Amino acid sequence: MRFLPRDEKFYDLFEAGVKKVVEGAVQLEEMIRNFTEVPLKARQIKEIEHEGDVITHRTIELLNLTFVTPLDREDIHDLITSLDDVLDYTEACAERLSLFKIDKTTDEAELLVGILVRSVKELEEAVFKLRRLKGADSVIKNCLEIDRLENEGDSVCRAAVAKLFEPENNPLEVIKWKEIYETLENAIDRCEDVANVLEGIVLKNA
């Protein structure tokens, strides 16, 4: 049952989806490290996010038209929509950096986007193991590393927000940066949601 052509199509879509997620995060990292031509770079990330949306949409269409699916319907749906959420927050961060007319980025933003890139690369590895569903242990290892990175992101974001509240800071800048940090943290958190879906899939299909 597992190797029907239609099944392969699902795995193709998962792989295409996670690649877009990685592409978005890598571009955001480049943007934050090299903070020039921000509006142009934000539009490019918006374009990647749009391409991700198309993949999500196609997966849901295929799901609605397929009677016997290679994984539980709910898991397929949750996998593709949680991947989409990671990319949405990645794009939202790029957009805010452009929209809020930020002059220069901060060390904390660089740290956070680095954690995001490491997380999505773990996701990419894990998703590419799904097609043959071998190596459950190895998928779980990726998921544990994503959990660890989420905790790291959490503690970096906390410290970053605490620093914002120094009394001499300009309140408008505080509002802007608090939102940017939280958007980055949300992107990292959503990676953990994807990891939870992946964990469920490999446990059920082990």
Encoded one letter per residue, x for contact with a second copy by CB under 8 A and - for no contact, window 19-58 reads: ----------------------------------------
Q: For residues 27 and 111, is the Cβ–Cβ distance under 8 A?
A: no
Encoded one letter per residue, x for contact with a second copy by CB under 8 A and - for no contact, window 86-105 reads: ---------x---xxx----
In the DSSP assignment, the letter for residue 168 is T
Q: For residues 38 and 102, is the Cβ–Cβ distance under 8 A?
A: yes
Q: For residues 122 and 145, is the Cβ–Cβ distance under 8 A?
A: yes
Interface residue with a second copy among 3, 5, 36, 64 (CB under 8 A) is: 64
User: Collapsing DSSP states into helix, strand and coil, what is residue 4?
Assistant: coil
Establish if 176 lies at the interface with a second copy (CB under 8 A). yes
What gap in Å lies between CA 17 and CA 81, rounded to an integer? Answer: 10
What gap in Å lies between CA 123 and CA 121, rounded to an integer? Answer: 5
Establish if 9 lies at the interface with a second copy (CB under 8 A). no
Smallest separation (angstroms) from a second copy to the CB of 190: 15
Q: For residues 204 and 72, is the Cβ–Cβ distance under 8 A?
A: yes
Interface residue with a second copy among 117, 133, 136, 174 (CB under 8 A) is: 174
Establish if 158 lies at the interface with a second copy (CB under 8 A). yes
Interface positions with a second copy (CB under 8 A): 60-61, 64-65, 95, 99-101, 158, 161-162, 165, 167, 169, 171-172, 174-176, 178, 200, 203-204
